Amino acid sequence: MERLKELRTARGLLQKDVAAVLGIDRTTYVKYEKGQSEPSFDILTKLADYFGVSVDYLLGKTDIKKAPHGSEALQQLLDESNANMVVVIGKGKERRIIEVPADAEEIIRSTLEAFKNK
């Protein structure tokens, strides 16, 4: 996971520092950074919390570092991304924000409108 190294070095931390916070051996952490081993969901969550980013960001599923909360934060998210629309799916820690491609935006809008009118 290349983003682990970026986040760690941006904070001036050593691999052993992050490993100590996680309560794991440095060699295990090194394997995560090099993509030689996948961390458990528990470790991923700890890493995301420690670096102040989302699990999806760590996994490379989004370029948005942290899931926003509230309408102002969603507007900020739209301003920072290239998307015209984002969709929030799930609840709690399972919540994910998905950037909607422009060609799918109208389909989603019309589908939501149809459900709203039922």
Q: 51 is written with which tokens?
A: 């670096």
Q: What is the pLDDT of residue 24?
A: 96
Residues of the chain with pLDDT under 70: 67-88, 92-95, 97, 118
* Residue 30 to residue 35: CA distance in whole angstroms: 9
1-62: which CATH architecture?
Orthogonal Bundle (1.10)
Q: Is 54 in contact with 67 (CB distance < 8 Å)? A: yes
pTM over 0.75: no
User: Which pLDDT score, from 0 to 100, does residue 9 have?
Assistant: 95
H-assigned helices in the chain: 2-10, 15-22, 26-34, 41-51, 55-58, 70-80, 102-116
CA 70 from chain centre, in angstroms, equals 17
Give CA torsion, residues 23, 40, 73, 105, to 10 deg.
170
Q: What's the confidence (pLDDT) of residue 8?
A: 95
| pLDDT tens per residue across span 53-75 | 888 889 988 887 775 555 555 56
pLDDT at position 29 is 97
Structure tokens belonging to residue 16: 């052993």
Query: So where are the chain's domains?
Result: 1-62, 67-118
